[in-house]
Amino acid sequence: MPAARSCGTALLSVALLACASGGSDTGSIEAELGSGELEFAPLAKDEALPYSAGSQGGHHVYVSFRARGLEPERVLVSVETRVEDHPELTLRREGRVNFEPTDDGSYVYAGWPAQILLAPCHAGERAHIDVTLSDRDDRSADLERWIRIGEGPAPSASLCD
């Protein structure tokens, strides 16, 4: 019986090792940061993005992502925003989303609300958006872009005091 147990243990160890080392490519994802609430649009450096008011009182700009070489389901999206010369206005949010396939073989996620603290008080100023996309196979891409905070709904009188 001990010989059978050690043989079974050896087979289980080989199977676990094969699962741990094979199967997924742990390379990086080729990705692009864009804009758009409903579809991906390329994003130029210092492009002005209008801010929107969120349902809980915050403000955000809509960004989108296009990628190749990723597992498109349950991609971890981590977004950090900061207003230039205002380190106190740095904010990081993350969540998991599913990317949709496109006709050219890439995957797209449109409409991530990149929250910018006090965006109405800084319209016209530059903001930095820093993104990490990580799929379930431990592949990732780091993206970043400077934008201009565009116009949006008028802020309440007390917001920018």
Kindly report the three-state secondary structure assignment for every residue of the chain. CHHHHHHHHHHHHHHHHHHHHCCCCCCCCEEEEEECCCCCEECCCCCEECCEECCCCCEEEEEEEEEECCCCCCEEEEEEEEECCEEEEEEEEEEEECCEECCCCCEEEEEEEEECCCHHHHCCCEEEEEEEEECCCCCEEEEEEEEEECCCCCCCCCCCC
Domain count, the chain: 1
Structural domain boundaries, residue 130:
25-149
pLDDT of residue 161: 79
Phi, psi at residue 152, to the nearest 5°? -155, -160
Sheet holding 75-83, edge to edge: 48-49, 140-149, 126-134, 75-83, 86-97
CA distance 89 to 125: 13
pLDDT of residue 158: 85
**Cα atoms in the 13 Å half-sphere on the side-chain side of 37:** 7
Q: Identify whether 115 is part of a domain.
A: yes
Please give the average pLDDT of every successive group of 10 residues along the chain, which has 161 residues: 45 33 58 97 96 92 97 98 98 98 97 97 97 96 97 86 79
pLDDT of residue 102: 97
Q: Identify whether 29 is part of a domain.
A: yes
Task: With CA atoms as reference, report the closest residue to 75 among 138, 131, 136, 119.
Answer: 136
Q: Identify whether 5 is part of a domain.
A: no
pTM beyond cutoff 0.85:
no
Q: Identify whether 48 is part of a domain.
A: yes
Tokens representing residue 47 in the block: 């492009």
Q: In this structure, are residues 63 and 35 in contact, taking their beta carbons and an 8 Å threshold? A: yes
Tell me the β-bridge partners of 110: none
Q: Residue 143 is part of a domain; what is its CATH number?
A: 2.60.40.1940
Q: Identify whether 65 is part of a domain.
A: yes
